[in-house]
């Protein structure tokens, strides 16, 4: 190995005192140290990616939510400001982040779709109000599946407050795990008797 290293240096075009192999090897060690250090920096820095769920992956079917009939108008309010970043998961040098405001947007979209089916008119000046916000989400990479768990906070206009868990796993991708977790949390909220009663008033 020493001879190979020396020959490598000889081919770089660098000039060392004749026969001074010790200096050549010290130079090679310094070069390799810099290379290894750079690789470690890249590994530590890793790669940051972003994902925000969509309601299009898992539409809610009619069997998941009670067939109640709502009344009047309603405003669905996202209580999480956009730009509220969080770390969803860090794995093998890569970090996945999301925006709680945009994650909540997906929950709002789900709710608006379902309430529109149930005769409620969605408007910013609605007589009724639902404040919703995803307050926390994290993902886990398992041996065979990827899981995502989150909390959805819902506040009704008459003062009822409750948090719902969305827990979903996927053998495929982090994206599907996250999309399904939002869907499951919304389904849990729309099955809550107090929320249904408020929407029916």
pLDDT tens, position by position, 68-102: 999 999 999 999 999 999 999 998 788 999 999 99
Q: Find out whether 139 and 96 touch, Cβ atoms under 8 Å.
A: yes
CA distance 126 to 149: 31
Given the structure tokens 């945009």, which residue do they identify? 102
SS3 category, 93: coil
From the candidate CATH numbers 3.30.420, 3.30.505, 2.60.200, 3.40.50, the one assigned to the domain spanning 48-200 = 3.40.50
pLDDT-flagged residues of the chain (< 50): 2-6, 8-14, 16, 24, 27-45
Q: Which two tokens stand for residue 19?
A: 């026969």
Q: Which two tokens stand for residue 120?
A: 């409620």
pLDDT tens, position by position, 159-170: 999 999 999 999
pLDDT score at 144: 85
Q: Which two tokens stand for residue 117?
A: 């089916």
The structural domains of the chain, with segments of one domain joined by +, span: 2-45, 48-200
Given the structure tokens 């790669």, which residue do they identify? 47
């Amino acid at each position: 190995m020493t001879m190979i290293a020396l020959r490598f240096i000889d081919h770089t075009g660098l000039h060392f005192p004749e026969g001074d192999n010790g200096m050549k090897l010290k130079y090679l060690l310094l070069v390799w140290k810099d290379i290894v250090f750079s690789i470690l920096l890249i590994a530590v820095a890793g790669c940051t990616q972003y994902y925000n769920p969509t309601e299009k992956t898992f539409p809610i079917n009619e069997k998941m939510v009670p067939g109640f009939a709502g009344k009047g108008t309603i405003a669905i309010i996202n209580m999480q400001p956009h730009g509220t970043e969080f770390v969803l998961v860090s794995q093998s040098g890569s970090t996945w982040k999301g925006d709680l405001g945009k994650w909540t947007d997906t929950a709002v979209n789900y709710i608006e779709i379902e309430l529109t089916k149930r005769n409620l008119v969605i408007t910013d000046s609605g007589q009724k109000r639902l404040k919703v916000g995803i307050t926390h989400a994290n993902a886990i990479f398992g041996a065979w599946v990827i899981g995502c768990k989150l909390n959805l906070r819902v506040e009704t206009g008459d003062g009822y407050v409750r948090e719902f868990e969305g827990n979903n796993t996927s053998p495929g991708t982090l994206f599907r795990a996250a999309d399904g977790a939002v869907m499951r949390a919304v389904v849990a909220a729309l099955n809550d008797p107090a929320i249904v009663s408020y929407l029916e008033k």
